[in-house]
Structure 1
Amino acid sequence: MKYTTQILVDIPRDEFIKKLDNPDNMKHWQRGLTQYEQLSKNPGQEGAQMSLSYQMGKREVTLVETIIKKNLPEEMHASYDAKGVHNLQKNYFKDEGGKTRWVTETDFQFSGFGMKLMGLLMPRAFKKQTLIYMQDFKKFAEEGISATDSQ
């Protein structure tokens, strides 16, 4: 399942990247994030891995992020792997006169009957979750409003 989402954030790209590229800020725009752990000696660099744990309703989901390409401030690509799901996310950051356009190209690949079925029956839920994270980042970056304030 592939889709593209985008949002315009009213801060300069260099400030946008500083906020996005700081793992301590993830809790402010990734609802449900309970913890993260660097798995590599080269955090934040190409090839680096990080474990991310989320509380989603009554389920806890743990996934591993792998940075595939990091060419900041223009782009950063990563994969996210959890049981039954492989997600490739390409992020592009465009300077638009003091604002930053964040464009994501997302490709979910499912394995196992249950996950494939969920991907077929609920494709809008995946896109909606991506947009929620992007909107929460916008609120955090522009106004200092943390997603933890609404949990």
Structure 2
Amino acid sequence: MKYSTEIIIDKPREEVLEKLDNIHNLKHWQNGLLGAIPISGDTGEEGSKIELHYKMGKREMTMIQTVIKKKLPTEFHATYDTKGIQNTQQNYFQELNAYQTRWIVECEFLFNSFAMKVMGFLMPGAFKKQSLKYMKDFKAFVEDGESVSNE
């Protein structure tokens, strides 16, 4: 399953990337994040891995982020692996002007189990909706300092 989403952030690209490229900021825009633990490499650099722990409703999930390409200020690509699913995410950052940045996300989900294949087939919109929710929360964090964290 593939899809693309995008959002315009009313801040300069340099400021957007400064907030995005900081592991400590994840909690401010990824609702449900319990923790992010570096497990190998230099955090955020190509080849590095981070273990991400989420609680979504009553369900807890662990995901491994692997950075596959970091060519800032224009691109950042990573894979996210969890039980039954691999998500490859390509992020592009376009400087629209001195005060606006377009963030484009191209996602591809590969389902490794029958149950996940069925879920992807029956609910493809749920994945895109979740991606867009994270992007909107990131926009609110960058533009207005709003955080989804309870801390």
* TM-score relative to the length of structure 2: 0.97
CA distance in 2, matches of 1:80, 1:41: 16
SS in 2 for 1:148: coil
**Superposition pairs of residues 1-151 of structure 1, within 5 angstroms:** 1-97=1-97, 98-148=99-149
Letter paired with 1:109: L
Alpha-carbon distance in structure 2 between the residues aligned to 1:38 and 1:129: 24
Cα distance in 2 for residues equivalent to 1:148 and 1:38: 20
Note the C-alpha offset of 1:44: 1.2
Task: After TM superposition, give the deviation of residue 41 of structure 1 in Å.
Answer: 3.4
| TM-score, structure 1 normalization | 0.97
Could you say what secondary structure the match of 1:62 adopts? strand
Q: Secondary structure at the match of 1:146?
A: coil
Distance 1:45 1:111 in 2: 27
Note if contact 2:11-2:143 (Cα within 8 Å) is conserved in structure 1: yes
Paired residues, what number? 150
Partners of 2:49 and 2:67 within 8 A in 1 = yes
Residue type at the aligned position of 1:147: V
**Partner letter of residue 143 of structure 2?**
E
Give the 3-state SS of the residue equivalent to 1:35 in structure 2. strand
Distance 2:100 2:80 in 1: 28
Q: CA separation in 1, counterparts of 2:91 and 2:125?
A: 19
Question: Structure 1: how far apart are the matches of 2:148 and 2:123?
Answer: 24
In structure 1, how many angstroms separate the alpha carbons of the residues matched to 2:44 and 2:112? Answer: 28
Which residue identity does 1:41 align to in structure 2?
G
- Contact 2:41 2:47 (C-alpha < 8 Å) held by counterparts: no
> Gaps (5+ residues) in structure 2?
none
| Aligned residue type for 1:25 | N
